[in-house]
Amino acid sequence: MTIIPAIDIIEGKCIRLTKGDYNQKTIYNEDPVEVALEFEDAGLKRLHLVDLDGAKAGDVKNWKVLERIASKTKLQIDFSGGISTQKNLEITFSSGADFAAIGSIAVKDEFTFTGWLLAFGPERFIIGADVKDEKIVIKGWTETTSLTVFEMIDKYKTKGVKQFFCTDVNKDGLLQGPSLSLYKKIMNEHPSIDLIASGGVSTTKELEELREAGCKGAIIGKALYEKRILLSELKKFL
């Protein structure tokens, strides 16, 4: 299982939200590059970079942060937040992202997103399934849809997408444990996908449980910043 630390960006700074609420944010570092270098020095190979300004605006905003991290580290980066047009997508890839993590556009405009899969290849994309009570939420977690996470996965795995990350918004930022039962349910229904768990992870024991459940990756954010999980403790997963 791949450990994927998260860096969430607002106004160029490394922050974390609680339950996706923009009014409940904590600034952890003024310079996200410093944080990324710490992750790389600890032996981590991948990074989940979220442009929260972009997610809210529906337009990529913090691509310069992506560019700086990509140029100063060898981390494999997936970037999300505000990728709503092909121009946004091209900026994302040209700024150094290895993968584009797509949420809203895959829900709202299947035709456009399918065109991107054909143009760039499905291996360059991760579907970001942010959920609340198993329903997909979009636009920076501000809008709940009628689409379930299971329907979302089924729709796009047939189009060649293999990687899906699933964040339970009710768990995110609370350090109360991940949605293990949800991930087990997803893996039972879709055993062939690479499922990346996200939200709520607070201990290495929970990481072991996610690995046992079949998750191919786990995104960790607040637990690292609050020192609930030390970077040195992640070595057994590397």
Task: Tell me if 82 sits within 8 A of 101, measured CB to CB.
Answer: no
Q: Which entry of 51, 78, 130, 168 is annotated as an active-site residue? A: 130
Tokens 């970077």, located at residue: 231
* Buried b / exposed e along 92-111 (16+ C-beta atoms within 10 A): beebbbbbbbbbbbbbeeee
Query: Which among 8, 51, 53, 168 is annotated as catalytic?
Result: 8
Contact by Cβ (8 Å): 217, 196: yes
User: Do 219 and 6 contact (CB within 8 A), yes or no?
Assistant: yes
Distance (Å) of CA 53 to CA 86, 94, 127, 186 = 18, 19, 19, 29
SS3 call for 120: helix
Closest CA to 104 of 86, 120, 127, 122: 127
**Residue 154 appears among annotated catalytic residues:** no
Q: Are 36 and 43 in contact (CB under 8 A)?
A: no
DSSP per-residue codes, 30-65: S-HHHHHHHHHHTT--EEEEEEHHHHHHTS---HHH
Give residue for tokens 């607070």: 202
8-state DSSP, 20: T
Our answer to whether residue 59 is catalytic in this structure is no
List the catalytic residues. 8, 130
